[in-house]
Structure 1
Amino acid sequence: MSFTNPIPERLKEARKKAKLSQKALGVRIGMDESSASPRMNQYEKGKHTPDISTLKSIADEFGVPLSYFFCEDEISAELAVNLNKLSETDKQKVLEVTVRLIEESFENSSPKGD
């Protein structure tokens, strides 16, 4: 099974949701106006990958965590975005609930002794 880099699709999805052109996004994160559109196009097509500082600037522009761009499925991406909106206290609560769910799932799936 081959791996598909999630960054191009996540980038395009976030940009379209924000209703920005490739050029506008590039300029907003500090790219030269003449190269902004071609560079963003190459990132979205997967021909080049933005360096981590550029990707962080893009994440900040969209108000999403950096981890959003690395999520391999939609549910994980949505979780990353929503978790980013929570306070540290609420994130801890979510973590506790998640741990409980995993433990319960494990208990329910493990064979019962007679």
Structure 2
Amino acid sequence: MWTLCNDIRSFIITGYQRMSAAQSSVFGTRLKEARLEAGLSQKQLGIEAGLDPFVASTRINRYELGIHKVDYALAGRLATVLRLPVAFFYAEDPELARLIQIFGRLPKRKKADILSHARTLEVGA
């Protein structure tokens, strides 16, 4: 009985860890894409986002690999450094991620134009 309980507990914990890793992998993939596009090293990004310089590179590496989850406050600081909306990091669809990235960098007037055009497309669909 003791062995069965341990096996079940191990199975549940392993499943949870896999699920958490899958959720973190989208964030990690987007973080790495944005960091490379910005031309920043892992250490530079971490330091600019307010991480301790001694662990900045390791922490960013673990976020990119999906080993550790990023809390929302840090996600916001990373987004600010990379000039991106936080939503970019959580977009599973690569095309949606790209749209969020482009839209987030546009001036307000152009955003309004795009939203107006998108509404027109939606009505016509």
Over the matched positions of the two proteins, sequence identity in percent amounts to: 34
1:14 lines up with 2:54 in the alignment = no
CA displacement at 1:97 relative to structure 2: 1.4
In structure 2, how many angstroms separate the alpha carbons of the residues matched to 1:95 and 1:28? 32
Q: Indicate which of 17, 25, 33 corresponds to 2:45.
A: 25
1:1-114 matches, within 5 Å, as 4-5=22-23, 6-105=26-125
**1:96 aligned partner, one-letter code:** S
CA displacement at 1:9 relative to structure 2: 0.2
In structure 2, how many angstroms separate the alpha carbons of the residues matched to 1:45 and 1:80? 22
After superposition, the CA RMSD in angstroms is 1.9
**1:58 aligned partner, one-letter code:** L
| Length-normalised TM-score, structure 1 | 0.80
Per-residue CA deviation, residues 19-47 of structure 1 (Å, 9 max, x unaligned), is 22211211111111111111111101111
**Paired positions, count:** 104
**1:18 aligned partner, one-letter code:** A
The structure-2 alpha-carbon separation of the partners of 1:47 and 1:74, relative to structure 1 and needing over 3 Å to count, comes to same
CA displacement at 1:103 relative to structure 2: 1.9
Q: Is the 8 A contact 2:43 2:53 kept in 1?
A: yes
The structure carrying a bigger helix percent of its residues is: 2
For structure 2, the residue ranges without an aligned partner over 5 or more in a row are 1-18
In structure 1, how many angstroms separate the alpha carbons of the residues matched to 2:103 and 2:44? 27
For structure 1, the residue ranges without an aligned partner over 5 or more in a row are 106-114
In structure 2, how many angstroms separate the alpha carbons of the residues matched to 1:63 and 1:46? 21
Q: Residue in 2 aligned with 1:110? A: none
In structure 2, how many angstroms separate the alpha carbons of the residues matched to 1:92 and 1:20? 31
